[in-house]
Amino acid sequence: MIKALAVKDTTGKLQPFEYQEEVGVTDVLVRVTHCGICHSDVHLIDGDWGDVYPLVPGHEIVGVVEKVGVDVHSTQIGDRVGIGWQCNSCGACKQCSNHKEVFCKDNQPTCMGHFGGFAEHVIADERFAIPLPDALESASAAPLLCAGATVFTPIDQYTKPGDSVAIVGIGGLGHLAIQIAKAKGCFVTAISQSSDKEVMSRELGADDFVSAPAVGAYDLILNTANVNMQMHEYLAALKPNGTFVQLGIAPDAMVIEDITNLVDGNKSIAGSAIAHPHKIQELLDLAAQHNIRATVQVMNMSEANAGVEMTRSNQARFRVVLEN
């Protein structure tokens, strides 16, 4: 049996929970050493995304492979690995064959319809247990698996070295986005209303810190805040061919006040979510090379309820990571 913490209803309280260990032929059983608490976990716990109970949250997992299925070839017992939002896919469709596993119709999330990382162990298909470079420390690497992957994908897709990137919102996602964009050779502007975040943003690598975007200044704007922006202001802030990427799913509608703001200059608005396994590997290698790390508050797994509350009330600076 696998020992975990589960929420059983919308009361939102994590309680001890056990489930049967079933390691498939291409699965690995990972002993969880660390698991970050993501805002998506809080949405799941609070029932914002439907009835997903019993729920074992946790999808920013670092641990050690303890058992492997008979057909596992990419990892071995004793390897340190990371597991993010996705823990399996069909492995046979066109998307999977092209290493675009996120787009597989049978994309299996780690903690929806499957039990996640608030646990002593977790099971994942070997393709989604990504080897962790030795240079990365486990606690500060755990948030790379979801928060880091989420911001890495659009920075990787839409920028080249020398581009100008604006990061809106300096929190769990934003503080990693600054470091990743900087490591990719971009000129990085942090945009935040909280002036107390300027010193920290610059320490993380931001070249500039502003409370509002400049006009015609950015090749990429990454909105990591879970709100919709004044789009006339943000589209005007893009350079020609620039892209505005929305990451959070804000509850209200995005409004584009004047479509000429989008049409003039061939600008784009895009969404983005998580990262394919080979892209997570690229991110982990970049993180090892450039010392990219999440700022974390480590708490014991037994304090998971308190950690969830800190995340829910935006008290975490910037990520709570649970440790076994």
List residues near Zn ion by CB under 5 A. Answer: 38, 40, 89-90, 93, 96, 104, 146
Q: Specify the residue, 150 or 189, whose C-beta has the smaller distance to Zn ion.
A: 150
Calpha distance 177→295 (Å, rounded): 12
Q: Specify the residue, 108 or 189, whose C-beta has the smaller distance to Zn ion.
A: 108
Give min distance, CB of 63 to Zn ion, in A.
Answer: 17
- Taking alpha carbons only, the member of 89, 41, 140, 134 closest to residue 278 is 89
Give min distance, CB of 122 to Zn ion, in A.
Answer: 15
Calpha distance 133→136 (Å, rounded): 6
Give min distance, CB of 322 to Zn ion, in A.
Answer: 14
Give min distance, CB of 181 to Zn ion, in A.
Answer: 19
Check: CB of residue 37 under 8 Å from CB of residue 317.
no
Q: Specify the residue, 89 or 153, whose C-beta has the smaller distance to Zn ion.
A: 89
Check: CB of residue 276 under 8 Å from CB of residue 102.
yes
Integer CA distances (angstroms), 303 to 13, 57, 101, 310, in order: 11, 14, 33, 11
Q: Specify the residue, 63 or 213, whose C-beta has the smaller distance to Zn ion.
A: 63
Give min distance, CB of 274 to Zn ion, in A.
Answer: 8
Q: How do beta strands 86-88 and 61-68 pair? A: unpaired
Calpha distance 106→104 (Å, rounded): 5
Question: How many Å separate Cα 299 from the centre of its chain?
Answer: 19
Token couple for 263: 């049409």
Phi-psi label, residue 99: left if phi above 0, alpha if psi -120 to 50, beta otherwise: left
Give min distance, CB of 230 to Zn ion, in A.
Answer: 26
Calpha distance 297→177 (Å, rounded): 19
Q: Specify the residue, 96 or 247, whose C-beta has the smaller distance to Zn ion.
A: 96
Calpha distance 5→121 (Å, rounded): 11
Q: Specify the residue, 81 or 144, whose C-beta has the smaller distance to Zn ion.
A: 144
Give min distance, CB of 217 to Zn ion, in A.
Answer: 29
Q: Specify the residue, 83 or 186, whose C-beta has the smaller distance to Zn ion.
A: 83
Residue 81 φ/ψ, nearest 5 degrees: -135, 165
Q: Specify the residue, 33 or 95, whose C-beta has the smaller distance to Zn ion.
A: 95
Question: How many Å separate Cα 24 from the centre of its chain?
Answer: 26
Give min distance, CB of 321 to Zn ion, in A.
Answer: 13
Could you give the angle at which helices 174-183 and 277-290 cross, rounded to 10 degrees?
80
